[in-house]
Structure 1
Amino acid sequence: MTEILFYITNRAGEGVQTALAWRIADKAWRQSHRIYIHCGDAEHARAVDEAFWRRPATGFLPHEPAGPDAASPVVVGHGDDPGDHHDVLINLAPAVPDFATRFRRVAEMITGDPDLREAGRARFRFYRDRGFDIQSHRL
Structure 2
Amino acid sequence: MGAVFFYELQGAPLEVTLPMLLDKARAQGWRVLVRGTDAALLAQLDEALWHGPVEGFLPHGLAGGPHDAAQPILLGDGPAEGFACVMAVGGAAVTAEEARQLARACILFDSDDSAKAAARLQWKTLTDAGIAAQYWAQEQGRWVKKAERDARSAD
- 1:29 aligned onto 2:43: no
Separation of aligned partners in 2, 1:97 and 1:4: 9
- 1:74-102 Cα distance to aligned partner (Å, 9 max, x none): 11112x435x4230110114142457334
Q: 1:94 aligns with which of 87, 91, 94?
A: 91
Question: Is the CA contact 1:96–1:123 (under 8 Å) kept in the aligned structure 2?
Answer: yes
**How far off its partner does 1:27 sit?**
1.3
TM-score of the pair, normalised by structure 2: 0.72
Q: What SS does the aligned partner of 1:22 have? A: helix
Per-residue deviation, residues 19-55 of structure 1 (Å, max 9, x unmatched) = 2121101111122211110011322221111111122
Q: State percent identity of aligned pairs.
A: 26
Q: Give the equivalent residue in structure 2 for 1:116.
A: 115
Deviation at 1:114, TM superposition (A): 3.2
Match of 2:48 in 1: 51
Instruction: Answer yes or no: is 1:137 the counterpart of 2:117.
Output: no
Partner of 2:62: 65
Cα-Cα RMSD: 2.3
Which residues of structure 1 form unaligned runs of 5+? none
Alpha-carbon distance between aligned partners in 1 of 2:9 and 2:40, rounded to the nearest angstrom: 24
Contact 1:85–1:103 (8 Å) recurs in 2 = no
TM-score if structure 1 supplies the norm length?
Answer: 0.79
Rg (Cα) greater in structure: 2
| Alignment coverage as a number of residue pairs | 134
Select the structure with the greater relative contact order (CA < 8 A; seq sep ≥ 6): 1
SS of 2:126's equivalent in the other structure is: helix
CA positional deviation for 1:9: 4.2
